[in-house]
Amino acid sequence: MPIASNDRPFASDDDPRRTGAAGAGSAAAARATGSVDGAARVAKRVQAVPGSGIRRFFDIIASMDHVISLGVGEPDFVTPWPISEAAIRAIEQGHTHYTSNLGLLELREAIARDLERRYGIEWDPRDEMLITTGVSEGLDLAARAIINPGDEVIVADPSYAAHAPAIALAGGVPVSIKTEAAQGFVLDPSDVEAAITPGTRALLIAYPSNPTGAVLDRPTLEALADIARRHDLLIISDEIYDRLVYGGAVHTPIAALPGMKNRTITLGGFSKSHAMTGWRVGWAAAPPDLFGGMLKIHQYAMMSAPTVAQYAALEAIRAGEEYVVSMREEYDRRRQLMWRGFNDLGLACSEPRGAFYAFPSVAQTGYDDETFAEQLLISEQVAVVPGSAFGAAGAGHVRACYATSYEDIEEALRRIRRFLHHAPMAK
Ligand code: PLP
């Protein structure tokens, strides 16, 4: 089946990473971090959260043409047309009002049925499932619903750039657990257990992983579940990449393990699986008490997720499977090219088994990850993201996204080869 691709060299101008808080280096961007004259007027909790580590880097990209971007983590595919058409129909039919705070019941029912079929979990669409404005909102709701001031939440390092800030902005304390390249960046349950204190409230996990592509195998998941049960921890599980696993890897939601549904908030969405980043629609599933807390915040802060996007998501669940499969097949082809390509270039890269990122080491080039990314961009117009933007344990690596065309990845690898000839270690 043909799948359309944007073929754009880089993110659109309204990509938040280019304009807003992490954007183009404007005074507004600096103000958004509370780092200039207005700092005293920004709440301390917000000031304490560092601005995006990617900002300086995206400033440079914004000023360049003809960049091959392996930088931004979003599908290059355009949303499959039947999904967009369903949204157009919804507008034509006048579905332009708020929905229920919980989201369209039809959509919640369809998602719940889909999850039951795929993972065997039964969530009640009436009082355990909420439609959110992307997983981004789900993360915020989950953190704010369960964290009391000073509560510790354990999170892997490296991890998605918004995870630790979501915890901190909710008044919690993110406790980072270093994961190792040698172990494929998988969270080690014994490290998690060692980090637990009387102040530990929850564990935030997010597999398949952005930025490393790691997937948790069943024994590791079971060990984490065992720790959560023994220490009475809650789990926030960001499963936005659940449909993107490759090479025989299997995704299991931690809520599907015995005794876990009642202590887990599961977050999912359509942005990655259905190429719907701009529609801003996701879902959260949680046991009724936690669900109630999240709903309270959602109804005051958001009211309801975008209505037209909810109709699009409904069509994505009903008729989107063939697109998910064909996009995943294409990502897999690109994954093989990129991961093997990095290793051939001497940039050690463990096999990414999920999401759409490779996370090779650049330590052997003699550059640190920021300098590597900056110099590669300036001299060869290839954008990758420094690994340290995802936590201290990401240092020495870069994140390269393979949600871009096969041909662009081939060309990017050619340019990186040329670049490496001039790297400090090559001299
Ligand atoms: N969680 C992870 C791990 C992500 O990588 C992203 C986007 O890159 C999000 C959440 C945000 O997803 P959404 O577009 O549904 O808000």
Same domain, 32 and 107: no
* Residue 393 banded pLDDT, cuts 50, 70, 90: very high
Give 176's DSSP letter. E
- Mean pLDDT value of segment 211-236: 97
Asked whether residue 202 is domain-assigned, the answer is yes
Same domain, 181 and 270: yes
Same domain, 296 and 200: yes
- DSSP character string of 201-240: EEEEE-SS-TTT-----HHHHHHHHHHHHHTT-EEEEE-T
- DSSP character string of 306-337: -HHHHHHHHHHHHH-HHHHHHHHHHHHHHHHH
Asked whether residue 14 is domain-assigned, the answer is no
Confidence (pLDDT) at 72 = 86
From ligand 1's centre to the CA of 240, what distance in Å? 6
Domain extent for 151: 97-319
Reduced to 3 states (helix: H, G, I; strand: E, B; else coil), residue 7 is: coil
From ligand 1's centre to the CA of 37, what distance in Å? 31
From ligand 1's centre to the CA of 419, what distance in Å? 31
Q: Whose CA is nearest to atom 5 of ligand 1?
A: 210
135, 140, 274, best to mutate for ligand 1 pocket (most atoms within 8 Å of CB):
135
* Residue 150 banded pLDDT, cuts 50, 70, 90: very high
| Separation CA 20–CA 271 (nearest Å) | 19
pLDDT tens profile 27-77: 444 445 445 455 689 999 899 998 776 666 677 777 788 899 998 888 999
| Separation CA 88–CA 311 (nearest Å) | 9
Contact by Cβ (8 Å): 342, 420:
no
Which of the pair, 370 or 11, is modelled with greater confidence? 370
Domain CATH code at residue 351: 3.90.1150.10
Would the pTM of this model clear 0.75, i.e. be above it?
yes
Whether the upstream peptide bond of residue 208 has omega within 30° of 0, thus cis, is yes
272, 281, 302, 402, best to mutate for ligand 1 pocket (most atoms within 8 Å of CB):
272
pLDDT tens profile 281-317: 999 999 999 999 999 999 999 999 999 999 999 999 9
pLDDT tens profile 1-41: 344 444 333 333 333 333 333 333 444 444 454 454 556 89
204, 210, 244, best to mutate for ligand 1 pocket (most atoms within 8 Å of CB):
210
Confidence (pLDDT) at 334 = 98
Asked whether residue 85 is domain-assigned, the answer is no
Number of structural domains, the chain?
2
| CA-wise closest residue to 159 among 91, 227, 73 | 73
Same domain, 53 and 140: no
From ligand 1's centre to the CA of 135, what distance in Å? 6
Residues in contact with ligand 1 by the CB-under-6-Å rule are 73, 134-136, 160, 206, 210, 238, 240, 269, 271, 277, 282
For residue 162, pLDDT beyond 90: yes
Q: Whose CA is nearest to atom 12 of ligand 1?
A: 135
pLDDT tens profile 233-286: 999 999 999 999 999 999 999 999 999 999 999 999 999 999 999 999 999 999
